Amino acid sequence: MNRTPRPFPDVTKLPSYHYLSVDNIPLDKREPDDFQPRAQIRKLFAGKNIKCRDNETIEEFAEK
């Protein structure tokens, strides 16, 4: 018996929040907390795609 994978967002139905069926969830190379805002903003800061006091870019991120 295998574990049930975590819910995976269905980006084709945005802006509504829906999740993919358990049968369609990708299982390979999924990073922990990949959809958590804190993890995403850290990736942006690490890649220097966003700066600390760049309010416009931070607002765009928050709207996503």
Q: Could you report the per-residue pLDDT of 19-40, keeping only the tens digit for each?
A: 888 888 877 766 666 667 777 7
Distances (CA, A) of 15 to 1, 9, 11, 12, 42: 35, 11, 8, 9, 23
**Residue at 12 is within a domain:** no
Q: Could you report the per-residue pLDDT of 34-58, keeping only the tens digit for each?
A: 667 777 778 887 887 777 777 787 7
**Residue at 21 is within a domain:** no
Confidence (pLDDT) at 1: 47
What is the spatial distance between Cα 51 and Cα 44, in angstroms, rounded to a whole number?
9
Residue 63 structural domain = 32-64
To the nearest whole percent, how much of the chain has pLDDT over 70?
84
**Residue at 5 is within a domain:** no
51: how many CB neighbours lie within 10 A of its CB? 11
Total domain count for the chain?
1
50: how many CB neighbours lie within 10 A of its CB? 15
Helices 37-46 + 55-63 axis angle, to 10: 140
